Structure 1
Amino acid sequence: MPVVLLGESSPDLLIAFTIVFRRSGDTVHAAADGAGVLRLAGRVAPDVIVLNLPEDDGPATCRALRAAPATAGTPILLLSAALFPDADDARRSGADDYMTKPLRNADLVRHVHALTNTGEPV
Structure 2
Amino acid sequence: MSTIAGQSLFNSGPHRFLHGRVGRLWAPPLRLDSLQDRIVVFPTNLELVIRQEGRLVGASEADLWAQAALIQARCQSLLTGALVDNSGNTWTGMTLIEFAPESNADRGRAVSLAYGAMYARLL
Hey, which of these two has a bigger chunk of helix by percent?
1
Greater relative CO, 1 or 2 (CA 8 Å, sep 6+): 2
Hey, which of these two has a bigger chunk of strand by percent?
2
Q: TM-score range by the shorter chain?
A: under 0.3
Select the structure of larger CA radius of gyration: 2
- Relative to the length of structure 1, the TM-score reads 0.25
